[in-house]
Amino acid sequence: MIASNIYFSLEMLLVGRFLGQTAFAGGNLAMPLLLIAYAVADMIAVGSSIKIALKLGEGRKEEADKIFTTAVVSASLLSTITAVLMTIFGPWMFHLMGADDALTREAITYLGVYTIFIPLTCLVFVFDNYLRICGRIRFSMIMNIVLAVLCLFFEFIFLFVLKKGIGYAALGTSLGMSITCIICMLPFLRGKLSLRFVKVHGIKEILKEIFTQGLPSFLNNTSGRITSILMNTLLLRFGGDIAVSIYGVFMNIDGIIVPGMYGVFDSLQPAIGYNWGARRKDRARKIALCCVIALAVMCLLFTAILELFPGNIFHLFLESDSASLTLAVHAISIMGLTYLVRWISYSCQSFSSAIGKSGEATVLSLCNALIFPVLMMLILGRNGLEGLWYIMPSAALLTSAAAIVIYLLKIRK
C-alpha cells in the first residue's frame, strides 16, 4: 500500500522542486477532487474484496466470480463519471475556495489530464486487492514497486529533461498507472487465477452488497477529501499559498503513512474475512491483534520522524525563505502529533469492516474524516492560522476516544 501510493508524493515532490510553489499549491488544490474519483474505485474494491473473501471461505466460488466481474466493470464506469463531474465543476469550486486565476489554471490542467486516463488507472486499486485474494501477494508488491518506478521515470523525463508544466506531471503518473494496470489485468484475462471473469445476472443485488461493505472506506476517503477542501479554503484565507503548501507537504507525507496503516489490516483482510466466514473467530481475532500492534509501532515511529525532522521534510518538497521554513517547522510538528493516537480508531474501523460489521466501521470512518475535523474547524478556526494546525491532532484524539467507547460497550454487551 505504501508502494502503491508513494508515487503521488513523488509527483508533488518533483512538481514543487521543478515547477515552484504556485504549481505545487495548484496540484494540492486539485488532489482532493481527484482522490474522490479514485475513492469510488477503492470503495468497490474494498467492498467486493470483503464479500469475495467471505464467499471463498464459505466455499461459494461461483458467487465470488460474479462479485469480481461486477466490481471491475462498475469501478471503471463510476470512477470515470465522477472524474468528469469534478473536472467540469472544478473551476467554480477553486474560485469559491479563494484561488486566483493562476492557481485555478494549474489545478484544472492537472485534474483534466488525470480524467482522460481514469477509466484504466482507477483499476490499479481494484486489481491490487484481487491479486492478494488470489494469493499473488509477492506479484502485487512487485507491481506496486514497478508502478512507483514508472511514474517517477516518466515525470522525471517530462519535468526535468523536457521542462514541461504540471499537466505533464499528471501525464507521467497516468502513463505509469495505465501500464501497471494492463500488466495486473493479464493473469485474470488469461484465466490463470482463482478469480475469473464470468457472465453476471442479478447485478443490482451484487452492487448493493458491494456498496454496503465498501461504504466505510468510501466515506473515510471522500470525507477526508471534503475536509481537505475546507482546510485549503481556510488556509488560503488566513495564510495564502504558503499555508496551502505547508498543509500540502504534510498531506503528501500522510499519503504515505495512512496507506501503510491501511495496508497492515488490508493485507490480512482476506485472512480475517476467510476465518470469520469459516467460523474460526479466535484465529481471526489473533490476526487482528497482530495488526493492531504493528499499527501502533508504525504510527509512533512516524510521529517521532515528524517531530525530529520537520524542516528536512519540508525542504524535500519546496525551497523557502527562513520565515516560511519557521512556519513550516512549527506547523508540521503540531500536525505530526496526529499519529500518537490515530492507530486506535483505524484498528477498530478496519477490523469491523473486515468481518462485515459495516455500521460500526461507517460511524468511525465519518468521525475520523469529517465529523470531528469539521467540529474542530468551527472551534479552532476562530484562532486563525495557529488554530488550524491543531485540527488534525484534536480530531484524531476524539475519534480514538469514540472508538474505545464503542468497543467497550460492545464487549460489555
In Å, how far from its chain's centre is CA 223?
11
Indicate if the alpha-carbon torsion angle 45, 264, 317, 229 is positive or negative: positive
| Alpha carbon 389 to its chain's center | 21
pTM, whole model, 2 decimals? 0.73
Each residue's pLDDT tens digit, 155-205: 889 988 898 989 999 999 899 999 999 999 998 888 877 788 888 776 777
**More confident of the two residues 314 and 217:** 314
pLDDT digits (tens, 9 = 90+) for 281-302: 888 888 888 888 988 998 999 9
What is the predicted pLDDT for the residue at 15? 86
Question: What's 50's DSSP letter?
Answer: H
The number of beta carbons lying within 10 Å of the beta carbon of residue 290 is 11
- Tens of pLDDT along 316-338? 888 877 888 899 999 999 999 99
Per-residue buried b or exposed e for 350-374, using 16+ beta carbons within 10 Å of the residue's own CB: bbbbbbbbbebbbbbbbbbbbbbbb
Cell of 1: 500500500
User: Exposed, middle or buried by CB within 10 Å (0-12, 13-18, 19+), for 252?
Assistant: buried
- CA separation (Å) from 287 to 45, 90, 259, 355? 22, 43, 19, 12
- The cell for 7 is 508515487
Per-domain residue ranges of the chain: 2-412
Residue 276: the pLDDT is 77
Nearest to 170 by CA among 319, 311, 376, 23: 23
